[in-house]
């Protein structure tokens, strides 16, 4: 329950960077009504316990895959890659039921909150019963996600997924993909059903699994249905070299090239992974105003490869981040590996920094890009600590060992590049405190339900 509406922070990250002595006021809709820096603390105001940052959007999530984290790290045959991982992941996708999904998602969303995310974009394709029969209540699995997010207090963007074929030359789904099937009109109906429940922490977008999984006419049909829709449109694209080769064979064009050539891309489009792209495709994305959603920990775990971060940044394309398969669940690690991957590849440091453009701090440049990209990814016109944006914030615990002795001007650098730690003392979502003094109410019960779901899924694992 919202009992406090006015706060004072000793420091806050506002558009443009750190500001001192910031007075904050939340309106009745859970949005910032007043953000006023350089203001002495009024009598009786709630003084926050440390510097504050806006919460970050997790722009790409498959919640059910939290039940698979750490369980695909053995190789029993000569080779192991994305495709063999996917086949093993389908075991979870084929077994999870609504109660399990709610328990798994609640555990995940609690972990994401404590990792500094206050909104998560759920790229949701496990729709039906095993075997492909719809549930009596058609959106049962979506509702399980909504209830999990409500229990935890995190913001949620639900993205029902267009998914109708197994590949460019395979017009139907494999048996182990049957419960994923959703056509364009069904995706739109699901998104509308979510939007009918919309509140301060819930909204909807739409998604296309990938070009290999959706026929061109279906993609155009969904685009037509979404004409005038302000929500985000997400798609997995160019994650694997094999996908690029298959797209070239089927269409004569590379995946991002095909999307641009078809006139589909605009500011609503979120290109998830966008790993194997060339400079021309990056410039096409920049021209259309779309966002790239990068998931460094998952892309590393799956051996996807590295996208060209310097080229994306130079082109001015926002880079949202996501935790995807949830092998890690904190944005500090995702941002760190966004640059570390480039350092390993290019054999130099601070790749994302741009001193020639007045941006010498790697963490700050990545952070600002993720803030901008995250807003687009979750369907919010505004994001951050400024009037009209949702009232989300993270209170930094300066007593955390990873931040000990850090000069105030380098706090964001240390948050990204010094770890491990537990830096978020308090977390607010839409004006409500959901984490206080590192404590998230219901954790013990939530973890118990998660462990029970895991036992069901993995009972016969040696």
Assign 34 to helix, strand or coil. Answer: strand
Q: What are the DSSP calls for 299-358, one per residue?
A: HHHTT-----HHHHHHHT--EEE--BT-S---HHHHHHHHHHHHHHHHT-S-TT-BGGGT
Residue 68 confidence (pLDDT):
96
Per-residue pLDDT averaged across 228-236, rounded?
97
Q: Does position 6 have pLDDT exceeding 90, yes or no?
A: yes
For residue 207, which phi and psi values (nearest 5 degrees)?
A: -145, 155
Residue 462 confidence (pLDDT):
61
Per-residue pLDDT averaged across 91-99, rounded?
96
- The token pair at 103 is 């328990």
Residues 6+ apart with CB under 8 A from 315: 282, 283, 285, 286
**In 148-204, at which residue ranges do the beta strands (DSSP E only) sit?**
155-162, 202-204
- Cα 416 from Cα 363, distance rounded (Å): 6
Q: Does position 213 have pLDDT exceeding 50, yes or no?
A: yes
Burial class (CB in 10 A: 0-12, 13-18, 19+), 440: middle
Query: In residues, how long is the chain?
Result: 462
Q: Note if the bond before 420 is cis, omega within 30 degrees.
A: yes
Q: What are the DSSP calls for 216-235, one per residue?
A: HHHHHHHHHHTTT--S-EEE
- Cα 113 from Cα 228, distance rounded (Å): 32
Q: Does position 205 have pLDDT exceeding 90, yes or no?
A: yes
Per-residue pLDDT averaged across 43-55, rounded?
96
What does each C-alpha distance from 384 to 98, 239, 360, 389 come to in angstroms? 33, 29, 22, 6
The per-residue pLDDT for range 63-73, each reduced to its tens digit, is 999 999 999 99
Catalytic residue among 181, 236, 273, 326, which? 273
Of 98-107, 254-263, 416-425, the range with the lowest mean pLDDT is: 416-425
Comparing CA positions, the residue from 165, 253, 264 lying closest to residue 210 is 165
- DSSP letter at 384 equals S
pLDDT band at 85 (very low <50, low <70, confident <90, very high): very high
Q: Determine the distance from the C-alpha atom of residue 103 to the mean position of all C-alpha atoms in its chain, rounded to a whole number.
A: 19
Q: Does position 2 have pLDDT exceeding 70, yes or no?
A: no
pLDDT band at 273 (very low <50, low <70, confident <90, very high): very high
Residue 3 confidence (pLDDT):
62
- Cα 418 from Cα 414, distance rounded (Å): 5
What is the number of alpha carbons within 13 Å of residue 16 lying toward its C-beta?
4
Per-residue pLDDT averaged across 231-253, rounded?
98
Q: Over pLDDT 90: what percentage of the chain?
A: 96
Q: Over pLDDT 70: what percentage of the chain?
A: 99
- Cα 444 from Cα 456, distance rounded (Å): 19
pLDDT band at 196 (very low <50, low <70, confident <90, very high): very high
Assign 204 to helix, strand or coil. Answer: strand
Comparing CA positions, the residue from 335, 319, 326, 271 lying closest to residue 298 is 326
Residues 6+ apart with CB under 8 A from 228: none
Catalytic residue among 304, 308, 324, 397, which? 324
Residue 234 a catalytic site member: no
Q: What is the sign, positive or negative, of the torsion defined by CA atoms of 191, 193, 199, 201? A: negative
Residue 128 a catalytic site member: no
**Domain residue spans in the chain?**
6-54+384-443, 56-378
Per-residue pLDDT averaged across 169-179, rounded?
96
- Cα 39 from Cα 22, distance rounded (Å): 6
**Which CATH superfamily groups domain 56-378?**
Metal-dependent hydrolases (3.20.20.140)
Per-residue pLDDT averaged across 269-289, rounded?
98
- The token pair at 425 is 């003392």
pLDDT band at 79 (very low <50, low <70, confident <90, very high): confident
Residue 441 confidence (pLDDT):
92
- Cα 285 from Cα 258, distance rounded (Å): 11
Residue 8 confidence (pLDDT):
98
For residue 205, which phi and psi values (nearest 5 degrees)?
A: -135, -160
- The token pair at 456 is 């069901």
Do the bridges between strand 17-26 and strand 32-36 make them parallel or antiparallel, or are there none, so unpaired? antiparallel
Assign 422 to helix, strand or coil. Answer: coil
- The token pair at 62 is 């498959």
Q: Are 399 and 22 in contact (CB under 8 A)?
A: no
Q: Does position 134 have pLDDT exceeding 80, yes or no?
A: yes
Burial class (CB in 10 A: 0-12, 13-18, 19+), 94: middle
CATH of 6-54+384-443, one of 2.20.25.90, 2.60.40.10, 2.30.40.10, 2.140.10.10: 2.30.40.10
Residue 1 confidence (pLDDT):
42
- Cα 372 from Cα 242, distance rounded (Å): 31
Mean confidence (pLDDT) of the chain: 96
What is the number of alpha carbons within 13 Å of residue 419 lying toward its C-beta?
17
The per-residue pLDDT for range 335-384, each reduced to its tens digit, is 999 999 999 999 999 999 999 999 999 999 999 999 999 999 999 999 99
């Amino acid at each position: 329950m919202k009992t406090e509406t006015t706060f004072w922070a000793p420091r806050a990250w506002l558009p443009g960077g750190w500001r001192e002595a910031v007075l904050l006021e939340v309106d009745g809709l859970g949005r910032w009504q007043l953000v006023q820096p350089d203001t002495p603390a009024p009598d009786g105001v709630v003084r926050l316990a440390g510097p504050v940052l806006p919460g970050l959007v997790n722009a790409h999530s498959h919640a059910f895959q939290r039940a698979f984290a750490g369980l695909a790290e053995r190789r029993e045959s000569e080779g192991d890659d994305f495709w063999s991982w996917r086949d093993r992941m389908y075991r979870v996708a084929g077994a999870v039921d609504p109660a399990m999904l709610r328990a798994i998602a609640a555990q995940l969303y609690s972990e994401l909150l404590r990792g500094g995310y206050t909104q998560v974009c759920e790229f949701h394709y496990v729709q039906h019963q095993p075997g492909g029969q719809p549930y009596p209540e058609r959106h049962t699995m979506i509702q399980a996600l909504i209830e999990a997010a409500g229990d935890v207090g995190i913001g949620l963007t639900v993205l029902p997924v267009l998914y109708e074929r197994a590949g460019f030359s395979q017009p139907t789904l494999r048996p182990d993909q049957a419960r994923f099937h959703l056509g364009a009109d069904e995706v739109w109906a699901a998104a509308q059903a979510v939007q009918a429940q919309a509140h301060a922490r819930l909204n909807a977008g739409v998604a296309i699994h990938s070009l290999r999984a959706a026929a061109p006419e279906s993609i155009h049909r969904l685009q037509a249905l979404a004409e005038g829709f302000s929500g985000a449109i997400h798609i997995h694209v160019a994650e694997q070299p094999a996908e690029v080769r298959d797209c070239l064979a089927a269409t004569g064009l590379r995946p991002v090239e095909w999307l641009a050539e078809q006139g589909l891309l605009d500011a609503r489009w979120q290109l998830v992974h966008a790993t194997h792209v060339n400079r021309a495709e990056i410039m096409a994305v920049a021209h259309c105003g779309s966002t790239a959603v990068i998931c460094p920990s998952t892309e590393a775990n799956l051996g996807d490869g590295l996208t060209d971060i310097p080229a994306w940044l130079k082109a001015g394309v926002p880079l949202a981040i996501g935790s995807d398969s949830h092998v890690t669940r904190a944005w500090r690690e995702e941002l760190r590996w966004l640059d570390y991957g480039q350092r390993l590849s290019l054999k130099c440091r601070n790749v994302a920094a741009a001193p020639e453009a007045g941006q010498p701090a790697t963490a700050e440049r990545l952070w600002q890009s993720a803030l901008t990209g995250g807003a687009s990814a979750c369907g919010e016109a505004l994001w951050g600590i400024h009037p009209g944006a949702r009232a989300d914030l993270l209170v930094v615990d300066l007593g955390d060992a990873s931040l000990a002795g850090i000069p105030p001007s380098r706090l964001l650098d240390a948050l990204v590049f010094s770890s491990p730690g537990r830096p978020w003392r308090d977390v607010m979502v839409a004006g409500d405190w959901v984490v206080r003094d590192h404590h998230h109410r219901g954790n013990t019960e939530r973890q118990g339900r998660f462990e029970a779901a895991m036992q069901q899924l993995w009972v016969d694992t040696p």
